A = this chain, B = another copy of it.
Protein backbone atom coordinates (compact mmCIF):
# COMPACT_ATOMS: atom_id res chain seq x y z
CA UNK A 1 0.00 0.00 0.00
CA UNK A 2 1.26 3.41 -1.01
CA UNK A 3 -0.03 6.57 0.67
CA UNK A 4 1.06 9.71 -1.12
CA UNK A 5 0.34 12.61 -3.42
CA UNK A 6 -0.88 12.53 -6.98
CA UNK A 7 -0.18 15.74 -8.82
CA UNK A 8 0.25 17.72 -11.96
CA UNK A 9 3.71 19.20 -12.33
CA UNK A 10 5.17 22.02 -14.41
CA UNK A 11 8.92 21.52 -14.67
CA UNK A 12 11.69 23.53 -16.21
CA UNK A 13 15.24 22.19 -16.52
CA UNK A 14 18.22 23.28 -18.66
CA UNK A 15 16.99 20.64 -21.15
CA UNK A 16 13.43 21.83 -21.60
CA UNK A 17 10.11 22.66 -20.09
CA UNK A 18 6.80 20.91 -19.53
CA UNK A 19 3.58 22.64 -18.49
CA UNK A 20 1.35 20.08 -16.89
CA UNK A 21 2.44 16.49 -16.64
CA UNK A 22 1.50 13.64 -14.36
CA UNK A 23 3.44 13.72 -11.10
CA UNK A 24 3.19 13.16 -7.37
CA UNK A 25 5.01 10.84 -4.97
CA UNK A 26 2.40 8.05 -5.05
CA UNK A 27 2.40 8.09 -8.85
CA UNK A 28 6.16 7.56 -9.10
CA UNK A 29 6.24 5.07 -6.22
CA UNK A 30 3.33 3.11 -7.68
CA UNK A 31 4.70 3.02 -11.24
CA UNK A 32 8.07 1.90 -9.92
CA UNK A 33 6.79 -0.70 -7.43
CA UNK A 34 4.32 -2.15 -9.94
CA UNK A 35 7.25 -3.44 -12.04
CA UNK A 36 7.72 -6.11 -9.39
CA UNK A 37 5.60 -9.19 -8.80
CA UNK A 38 3.15 -7.84 -6.20
CA UNK A 39 -0.26 -6.31 -5.56
CA UNK A 40 -0.07 -2.55 -5.26
CA UNK A 41 -2.74 -0.09 -4.16
CA UNK A 42 -2.58 3.69 -3.87
CA UNK A 43 -4.31 5.85 -1.26
CA UNK A 44 -4.44 9.43 -2.47
CA UNK A 45 -6.67 12.30 -3.60
CA UNK A 46 -7.16 14.11 -6.90
CA UNK A 47 -9.49 16.79 -8.24
CA UNK A 48 -12.17 16.63 -10.87
CA UNK A 49 -9.57 17.83 -13.41
CA UNK A 50 -7.55 14.64 -13.04
CA UNK A 51 -7.63 13.00 -16.44
CA UNK A 52 -9.07 9.57 -17.00
CA UNK A 53 -6.09 8.65 -19.15
CA UNK A 54 -3.89 9.06 -16.06
CA UNK A 55 -6.13 6.93 -13.87
CA UNK A 56 -6.14 4.35 -16.64
CA UNK A 57 -2.36 4.51 -16.90
CA UNK A 58 -2.10 3.45 -13.26
CA UNK A 59 -4.77 0.76 -13.66
CA UNK A 60 -2.98 -0.60 -16.72
CA UNK A 61 0.11 -1.04 -14.56
CA UNK A 62 -1.94 -3.27 -12.26
CA UNK A 63 -2.27 -0.60 -9.58
CA UNK A 64 -5.45 -0.70 -7.48
CA UNK A 65 -6.78 2.87 -7.41
CA UNK A 66 -9.87 2.22 -5.31
CA UNK A 67 -8.15 4.23 -2.54
CA UNK A 68 -7.83 7.31 -4.76
CA UNK A 69 -10.51 9.81 -3.79
CA UNK A 70 -11.78 12.07 -6.57
CA UNK A 71 -13.09 15.35 -5.12
CA UNK A 72 -15.81 16.74 -7.33
CA UNK A 73 -15.32 20.44 -7.99
CA UNK A 74 -11.79 20.19 -6.64
CA UNK A 75 -8.47 20.69 -8.40
CA UNK A 76 -5.53 18.31 -8.28
CA UNK A 77 -2.41 19.25 -6.29
CA UNK A 78 -0.12 21.29 -8.54
CA UNK A 79 3.63 21.82 -8.22
CA UNK A 80 5.91 23.88 -10.38
CA UNK A 81 9.69 23.94 -10.12
CA UNK A 82 12.80 24.97 -11.96
CA UNK A 83 16.07 23.03 -11.87
CA UNK A 84 19.30 25.00 -12.11
CA UNK A 85 22.28 24.24 -14.29
CA UNK A 86 23.81 21.83 -11.83
CA UNK A 87 20.52 19.86 -11.65
CA UNK A 88 21.13 19.34 -7.93
CA UNK A 89 19.32 22.44 -6.77
CA UNK A 90 15.82 23.48 -7.63
CA UNK A 91 13.51 26.37 -6.89
CA UNK A 92 9.83 25.79 -6.23
CA UNK A 93 7.95 28.32 -8.35
CA UNK A 94 4.42 27.46 -7.29
CA UNK A 95 2.63 25.04 -4.95
CA UNK A 96 -1.16 24.80 -5.11
CA UNK A 97 -2.28 22.28 -2.50
CA UNK A 98 -5.89 22.30 -3.77
CA UNK A 99 -7.62 19.02 -2.78
CA UNK A 100 -4.57 18.02 -0.76
CA UNK A 101 -5.30 20.76 1.78
CA UNK A 102 -8.18 18.93 3.46
CA UNK A 103 -7.18 15.41 2.51
CA UNK A 104 -8.18 12.72 4.99
CA UNK A 105 -6.97 9.36 3.72
CA UNK A 106 -9.69 6.70 3.50
CA UNK A 107 -8.21 3.26 3.32
CA UNK A 108 -10.42 0.77 1.48
CA UNK A 109 -11.40 -2.29 3.51
CA UNK A 110 -9.33 -4.64 1.34
CA UNK A 111 -6.14 -2.54 1.92
CA UNK A 112 -6.40 -2.62 5.69
CA UNK A 113 -3.93 -5.42 6.36
CA UNK A 114 -1.07 -4.66 4.00
CA UNK A 115 2.26 -6.48 4.31
CA UNK A 116 4.27 -3.51 3.11
CA UNK A 117 3.37 0.13 3.55
CA UNK A 118 5.06 3.07 1.85
CA UNK A 119 4.24 6.48 3.30
CA UNK A 120 5.20 8.91 0.55
CA UNK A 121 6.24 12.46 1.36
CA UNK A 122 3.20 14.39 2.65
CA UNK A 123 1.80 15.79 5.89
CA UNK A 124 2.71 13.70 8.96
CA UNK A 125 -0.93 14.02 10.03
CA UNK A 126 -2.11 12.26 6.90
CA UNK A 127 0.58 9.62 7.35
CA UNK A 128 -0.58 9.03 10.95
CA UNK A 129 -4.25 8.87 9.95
CA UNK A 130 -3.38 6.24 7.37
CA UNK A 131 -1.48 4.08 9.87
CA UNK A 132 -4.34 4.37 12.41
CA UNK A 133 -6.80 2.80 9.99
CA UNK A 134 -4.81 -0.41 9.60
CA UNK A 135 -6.12 -3.60 11.19
CA UNK A 136 -2.71 -5.17 11.73
CA UNK A 137 0.91 -4.14 11.96
CA UNK A 138 2.52 -4.40 8.51
CA UNK A 139 5.64 -6.50 8.01
CA UNK A 140 7.47 -3.32 7.05
CA UNK A 141 6.55 0.36 7.00
CA UNK A 142 8.71 2.86 5.13
CA UNK A 143 8.51 6.61 5.57
CA UNK A 144 9.62 9.28 3.13
CA UNK A 145 9.51 12.89 4.29
CA UNK A 146 11.25 16.22 3.72
CA UNK A 147 12.64 19.36 5.37
CA UNK A 148 9.31 21.24 5.13
CA UNK A 149 7.71 18.88 7.68
CA UNK A 150 10.79 19.09 9.92
CA UNK A 151 10.48 22.88 9.92
CA UNK A 152 6.75 23.17 10.54
CA UNK A 153 5.31 19.87 11.82
CA UNK A 154 8.10 18.40 13.87
CA UNK A 155 6.05 16.87 16.66
CA UNK A 156 3.66 15.12 14.27
CA UNK A 157 6.62 13.98 12.21
CA UNK A 158 8.33 12.57 15.31
CA UNK A 159 5.21 10.51 16.00
CA UNK A 160 5.31 8.99 12.51
CA UNK A 161 9.04 8.36 12.69
CA UNK A 162 8.52 6.43 15.92
CA UNK A 163 6.08 4.07 14.19
CA UNK A 164 8.04 3.15 11.06
CA UNK A 165 10.71 0.54 10.36
CA UNK A 166 12.56 2.38 7.60
CA UNK A 167 13.02 6.08 6.96
CA UNK A 168 14.16 7.39 3.59
CA UNK A 169 15.47 10.97 3.52
CA UNK A 170 18.28 12.89 1.88
CA UNK A 171 21.59 13.80 3.47
CA UNK A 172 20.66 17.40 4.25
CA UNK A 173 17.39 16.26 5.83
CA UNK A 174 19.20 13.67 7.96
CA UNK A 175 21.49 16.46 9.19
CA UNK A 176 18.57 18.79 9.86
CA UNK A 177 16.58 16.11 11.66
CA UNK A 178 19.41 15.28 14.06
CA UNK A 179 21.73 18.26 14.19
CA UNK A 180 24.58 15.87 13.40
CA UNK A 181 26.78 16.60 10.40
CA UNK A 182 28.31 13.12 10.22
CA UNK A 183 25.85 10.80 8.48
CA UNK A 184 27.06 7.92 10.67
CA UNK A 185 26.07 9.88 13.76
CA UNK A 186 22.88 11.16 12.18
CA UNK A 187 21.82 7.59 11.38
CA UNK A 188 22.60 6.52 14.96
CA UNK A 189 20.35 9.33 16.27
CA UNK A 190 17.56 8.37 13.90
CA UNK A 191 17.78 4.72 15.03
CA UNK A 192 17.02 5.99 18.54
CA UNK A 193 13.95 7.83 17.25
CA UNK A 194 12.43 4.56 16.02
CA UNK A 195 13.44 3.30 12.57
CA UNK A 196 15.61 0.20 12.55
CA UNK A 197 16.77 1.00 9.04
CA UNK A 198 17.85 4.41 7.80
CA UNK A 199 18.18 5.11 4.08
CA UNK A 200 20.04 8.33 3.29
CA UNK A 201 19.71 9.46 -0.32
CA UNK A 202 22.47 11.58 -1.82
CA UNK A 203 21.12 12.17 -5.33
CA UNK A 204 23.86 11.80 -7.94
CA UNK A 205 26.14 10.47 -5.17
CA UNK A 206 24.03 7.40 -4.43
CA UNK A 207 22.48 6.23 -1.18
CA UNK A 208 23.45 4.73 2.17
CA UNK A 209 21.59 2.07 4.14
CA UNK A 210 22.28 2.03 7.89
CA UNK A 211 21.21 -0.72 10.29
CA UNK A 212 22.86 -0.50 13.70
CA UNK A 213 26.56 -0.80 12.91
CA UNK A 214 26.12 -2.15 9.41
CA UNK A 215 26.41 0.25 6.49
CA UNK A 216 25.89 -0.34 2.79
CA UNK A 217 26.54 2.16 0.06
CA UNK A 218 24.94 2.06 -3.41
CA UNK A 219 26.41 4.54 -5.85
CA UNK A 220 24.13 6.24 -8.35
CA UNK A 221 24.79 5.03 -11.87
CA UNK A 222 26.83 7.68 -13.67
CA UNK A 223 24.62 8.76 -16.57
CA UNK A 224 25.41 10.49 -19.83
CA UNK A 225 22.62 12.93 -19.22
CA UNK A 226 20.12 13.72 -16.48
CA UNK A 227 17.12 15.40 -18.10
CA UNK A 228 14.74 15.81 -15.15
CA UNK A 229 15.45 14.72 -11.57
CA UNK A 230 11.77 15.01 -10.54
CA UNK A 231 10.53 11.77 -9.02
CA UNK A 232 13.99 10.24 -8.62
CA UNK A 233 13.58 9.77 -4.86
CA UNK A 234 10.07 8.36 -5.25
CA UNK A 235 11.07 5.98 -8.04
CA UNK A 236 13.92 4.89 -5.80
CA UNK A 237 11.51 4.27 -2.91
CA UNK A 238 9.13 2.37 -5.21
CA UNK A 239 11.93 0.11 -6.44
CA UNK A 240 13.17 -0.39 -2.88
CA UNK A 241 9.80 -1.42 -1.44
CA UNK A 242 8.82 -3.20 -4.64
CA UNK A 243 11.79 -5.54 -4.45
CA UNK A 244 11.27 -6.17 -0.71
CA UNK A 245 7.58 -6.92 -1.25
CA UNK A 246 8.24 -9.30 -4.13
CA UNK A 247 10.86 -11.24 -2.18
CA UNK A 248 9.19 -10.95 1.24
CA UNK A 249 12.66 -10.84 2.77
CA UNK A 250 13.45 -7.88 5.01
CA UNK A 251 16.96 -8.92 6.09
CA UNK A 252 19.77 -6.37 5.83
CA UNK A 253 21.34 -8.40 3.02
CA UNK A 254 18.17 -8.29 0.97
CA UNK A 255 17.69 -4.59 1.70
CA UNK A 256 21.08 -4.00 0.08
CA UNK A 257 19.67 -5.47 -3.14
CA UNK A 258 16.52 -3.41 -2.70
CA UNK A 259 18.73 -0.32 -2.57
CA UNK A 260 20.31 -1.33 -5.88
CA UNK A 261 16.90 -1.97 -7.50
CA UNK A 262 15.72 1.38 -6.19
CA UNK A 263 18.77 3.13 -7.59
CA UNK A 264 18.22 1.44 -10.96
CA UNK A 265 14.62 2.68 -11.01
CA UNK A 266 15.76 6.23 -10.16
CA UNK A 267 18.35 6.08 -12.94
CA UNK A 268 15.59 5.32 -15.49
CA UNK A 269 13.32 8.07 -14.30
CA UNK A 270 15.78 10.93 -14.56
CA UNK A 271 16.67 10.20 -18.18
CA UNK A 272 13.42 11.73 -19.45
CA UNK A 273 10.84 14.23 -18.22
CA UNK A 274 8.33 13.16 -15.59
CA UNK A 275 7.15 9.56 -15.72
CA UNK A 276 7.93 9.17 -19.45
CA UNK A 277 10.91 6.86 -19.13
CA UNK A 278 9.26 4.70 -16.46
CA UNK A 279 6.71 3.75 -19.09
CA UNK A 280 9.56 2.46 -21.29
CA UNK A 281 10.65 0.04 -18.58
CA UNK A 282 11.57 -3.48 -19.64
CA UNK A 283 13.13 -6.37 -17.72
CA UNK A 284 16.09 -6.16 -20.12
CA UNK A 285 16.72 -2.56 -19.20
CA UNK A 286 16.68 -3.55 -15.55
CA UNK A 287 19.11 -6.41 -16.17
CA UNK A 288 21.47 -4.02 -17.98
CA UNK A 289 21.39 -1.55 -15.08
CA UNK A 290 22.00 -4.27 -12.51
CA UNK A 291 25.04 -5.43 -14.53
CA UNK A 292 26.27 -1.84 -14.66
CA UNK A 293 25.94 -1.55 -10.86
CA UNK A 294 27.88 -4.77 -10.45
CA UNK A 295 30.70 -3.59 -12.74
CA UNK A 296 30.75 -0.19 -11.10
CA UNK A 297 31.31 -1.55 -7.60
CA UNK A 298 33.04 -4.94 -7.83
CA UNK A 299 36.64 -5.33 -6.77
CA UNK A 300 38.63 -8.32 -5.54
CA UNK A 301 40.97 -7.45 -2.74
CA UNK A 302 43.13 -9.73 -0.60
CA UNK A 303 43.20 -8.56 2.98
CA UNK A 304 46.17 -9.74 5.03
Q: Is A208 an interface residue (CB 8 A)?
A: yes
Which chain B residues border A143 with CB–CB below 8 Å? none
Q: How far is the CB of A112 from chain B (nearest CB, A)?
A: 34
Q: Given A182-B226, A290-B301, 6 more contacts at CB 8 Å?
A: A184-B223, A205-B205, A208-B222, A257-B299, A257-B300, A293-B301
With contacts A257-B301, A287-B304, A304-B283 known, is A224 near B184, CB below 8 A? yes
With contacts A225-B182, A260-B301 known, is A205 near B202, CB below 8 A? yes
B-facing mask of A285-304, CB < 8 A → 1, else 0? 00100110111110111011
Which chain B residues border A293 with CB–CB below 8 Å? 301
CB of B217 within 8 A of CB of A181, answer: no
**A residues adjacent to B (C-beta < 8 A):** 85-87, 181-185, 202, 205-206, 208, 214-217, 219, 222-226, 253, 256-257, 260, 283, 287, 290-291, 293-297, 299-301, 303-304
Which among B85, B181, B183, B300 is the interface contact of A181 at CB below 8 angstroms?
A: B85
Chain A interface mostly: mixed
> How many angstroms from the CA of A99 to the CA of B171 in the assembled complex?
42
CB of A181 within 8 A of CB of B222, answer: no
> How many angstroms from the CA of A296 to the CA of B294 in the assembled complex?
14
CB of A296 within 8 A of CB of B216, answer: yes
> How many angstroms from the CA of A181 to the CA of B226 in the assembled complex?
10
Which among B219, B256, B283 is the interface contact of A217 at CB below 8 angstroms?
A: B219
Which chain B residues border A85 with CB–CB below 8 Å? 181
Q: How far is the CB of A273 from chain B (nearest CB, A)?
A: 17
Q: How far is the CB of A203 from chain B (nearest CB, A)?
A: 10
What residue of chain B has the Cβ atom nearest to residue A293's Cβ? B301
Which chain B residues border A301 with CB–CB below 8 Å? 257, 260, 290, 293-294
